[in-house]
């Protein structure tokens, strides 16, 4: 089988896996990276620990406005294949946080180093500090940079999206794809912190809590769009933490359509409304001689005392024994449904993932080859498919990069 000369734009996870897999089978690979090193975005994933994958894989964790290609691609290179491949690099995975898989070192830089060492071993040519100026296609692909012109038989666009723009994800791949005639599904931030109009944002800054969070569409009778359980972090501008990042995957597209959204937090997810009401009744009775604020001490984080009581229209110094049934139930409702309106998503540069991208209807569902330009392939975040928080997006990058490499070699 004739060896190919493959050009890859982008040295993130998708581009590196494509390059490594192609080089393994003897193909000549050149990767173009605009940064002075590979994997800049990888270094910050999973808070620097690199959440590579998740053991709970299913199409429910992936989203697309055009066509969800998750199953056809993942079935070609699944979690077992991923574990085996990274083990070959010296990266064995361990499970933390309910299914999330990390390198045993818990260091993203160890993953990046292993990828680099493998590229060096296989002779993958990485052109650093290089921004592609133009891409042309006739019989072959022609890439022009400031320094040189490169030719290849196949081209893989693995530039990522617009998220974490400081890492080099400037959206150049979308321009190249459009120039080749591809449609770009509207781009939105995903897995991103949320801005809210909460009166207590500044006073609660830095506080964490375990909650059940609901994303509500107030434009549609408070329709529950999504529910997540886990940790929430209060910030001076709004909300962050794993629960918020998961809920955020639905936010910006709805806001752009004019929807009025809010976040409702249940601070007592392990108690029903009736159970909480009964508990508070007994507690306030037992500590009836204290102020209601002091009576809640030891049960509620002290930073939440003022927000809870003020939202329930209860005076801070009111005696616990003087709290009536209506006031107590108001307090229960506040703790079970602490609601803030969403005003916006946070900065593009803080978004972990881009929602939208090259239409999946315009690529071959098995190979990710362009239906418009022969021998043009797409891998990773550049396509209109995004995953939930928890390693799903890196798994998509790995699976799509490997699938592309397989089809290029066999083509």
Local confidence pLDDT in tens for the 411 residues of the chain:
678 999 999 999 999 999 999 999 999 999 999 999 998 889 888 788 999 999 999 999 999 999 999 999 999 999 999 999 999 999 999 999 889 999 999 999 999 999 999 999 999 999 999 999 999 999 999 999 999 999 999 999 999 998 766 655 568 999 999 999 999 999 999 999 999 998 888 999 999 999 999 999 999 999 999 999 999 999 999 999 999 999 999 999 999 999 999 999 999 999 999 999 999 999 999 999 999 999 999 999 999 999 999 999 999 999 999 999 999 999 999 999 999 999 999 987 788 899 999 999 999 999 999 999 999 999 999 999 999 999 999 999 999 999 999 999 998
> Helix H segments across 248-304?
251-256, 273-286, 292-295
215-to-124, 249, 264 alpha-carbon distances in Å: 45, 10, 7
Q: Give the phi and the psi of residue 15 in degrees, each rounded to 5.
A: -65, -40
Encode 373-406: b = buried (16+ Cβ within 10 Å), e = exposed.
Answer: eebbbbbbbbbbbbbbbbbbbbbbbbbbbbbbbb
Q: Which of 209, 130, 161 is nearest to 12 (CA)?
A: 161
Sign of the CA dihedral 50, 25, 30, 400?
Answer: negative
Tokens of 379: 């891998």
Please state, in angstroms and rounded to a whole number, the distance separating the CA atoms of residues 184 and 172.
12
What was the pLDDT predicted at 169? 59
CATH number at 5-188+355-410: 3.50.50.60
Considering just the CA atoms, what is the radius of gyration of the chain in Å? 25
**Taking the CA of residue 350 as centre, how many other CA atoms within 13 Å lie in the half-sphere pointing to its CB?**
12
Please state, in angstroms and rounded to a whole number, the distance separating the CA atoms of residues 11 and 159.
8
Please state, in angstroms and rounded to a whole number, the distance separating the CA atoms of residues 168 and 31.
14
Q: Where are the domains of the chain?
A: 5-188+355-410, 193-345
Please state, in angstroms and rounded to a whole number, the distance separating the CA atoms of residues 39 and 19.
13
315-to-89, 199, 320 alpha-carbon distances in Å: 61, 17, 10
100-to-60, 241, 250 alpha-carbon distances in Å: 16, 16, 21
The model scores a pTM over 0.85: yes
**Taking the CA of residue 43 as centre, how many other CA atoms within 13 Å lie in the half-sphere pointing to its CB?**
12
H or E element: which one contains 224?
strand 223-234
């Amino acid at each position: 089988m004739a060896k190919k000369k493959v050009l890859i734009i982008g040295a993130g996870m998708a581009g590196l896996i494509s390059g490594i897999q192609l080089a393994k089978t003897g193909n000549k690979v050149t990767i173009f990276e605009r940064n002075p090193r590979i994997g800049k975005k990888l270094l910050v994933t999973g808070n620097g620990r690199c959440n590579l994958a998740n053991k709970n894989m299913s199409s429910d964790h992936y989203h697309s406005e055009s066509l969800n290609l998750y199953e056809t691609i993942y079935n070609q290179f699944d979690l077992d294949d991923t574990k085996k491949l990274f083990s070959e690099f010296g990266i064995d995975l361990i499970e933390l946080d309910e299914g999330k898989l990390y390198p045993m070192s818990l260091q993203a830089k160890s993953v990046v180093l292993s990828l680099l060492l493998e590229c060096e071993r296989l002779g993958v040519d990485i052109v650093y500090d290089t921004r592609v100026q133009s891409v042309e296609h006739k019989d072959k692909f022609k890439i022009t940079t400031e320094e040189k012109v490169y030719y290849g038989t196949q081209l893989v666009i693995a530039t990522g999206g617009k998220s974490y723009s400081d890492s080099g994800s400037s959206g150049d791949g979308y321009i190249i794809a459009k120039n080749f005639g591809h449609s770009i599904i509207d781009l939105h931030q995903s897995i991103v912190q949320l801005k809210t109009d909460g009166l207590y944002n500044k006073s609660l800054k830095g506080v964490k809590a375990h909650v059940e969070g609901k994303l509500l569409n107030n434009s549609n009778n408070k329709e529950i769009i999504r529910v997540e359980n886990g940790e929430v972090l209060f910030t001076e501008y709004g909300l962050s933490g794993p629960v918020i990042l998961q809920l955020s995957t639905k936010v910006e597209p709805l806001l752009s359509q004019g929807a009025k959204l809010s976040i409702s937090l249940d601070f007592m997810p392990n108690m029903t409304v009736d159970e909480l009401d009964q508990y508070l009744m007994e507690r306030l009775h037992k500590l009836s001689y204290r102020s209601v604020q002091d009576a809640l001490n030891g049960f509620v984080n002290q930073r939440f005392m003022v927000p809870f009581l003020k939202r329930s229209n209860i005076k801070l110094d009111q005696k616990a024994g003087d709290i009536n049934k209506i006031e107590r139930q108001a307090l229960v409702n506040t703790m079970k449904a602490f609601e803030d309106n969403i005003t916006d998503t946070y900065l593009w540069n803080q978004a972990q993932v881009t929602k939208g991208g090259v239409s999946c209807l315009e690529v071959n569902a098995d190979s990710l080859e362009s239906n418009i330009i022969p021998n043009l392939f797409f891998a990773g975040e550049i396509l209109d498919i995004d995953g939930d928080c928890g390693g799903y997006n890196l798994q998509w990058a790995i699976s799509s990069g490997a699938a592309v490499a397989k089809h290029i070699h066999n083509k």
